[in-house]
Amino acid sequence: MKDVMVSIRMPRDLIEELKKISRREHYMDLSETVRSFVRQKWMAAKDPVLYEIKKLRNEIYQEIRKKSLRYSRQQVVEELKRIKERLKE
């Protein structure tokens, strides 16, 4: 596949928002951020059903991961409480 360079114009406010997103999401630069957004929109337009399925799968994965981390933290806190009680004795 041959790469093609495209020039786009954007309002300064939009550029600032993209810079914030780029830093927050750890993109290397603004062009990578824009490519990612364009790729997402292209995939959604190309096959909307498949895109929604992938999106739901990702949301489920993220929710399971959050609950797993929450449970792990709770276990660590409980173990630390037990250790604290043993040390008091």
Burial of 30 (C-beta count, 10 Å sphere; 0-12/13-18/19+) = middle
d(CA 48, CA 71): 35
Other Cβ atoms within 10 Å of 87 Cβ, number: 7
pLDDT, residue 32, reads 94
pLDDT, residue 60, reads 95
Q: Tell me the pTM.
A: 0.59
Integer angstrom CA distances of residue 86 from 72, 73, 74, 78 = 21, 20, 19, 13
More confident residue, 1 or 7: 7
Sequence-separated (6 or more) residues with CB below 8 Å from residue 47: none
pLDDT above 80 for 1? no
Tokens of 77: 């806190």
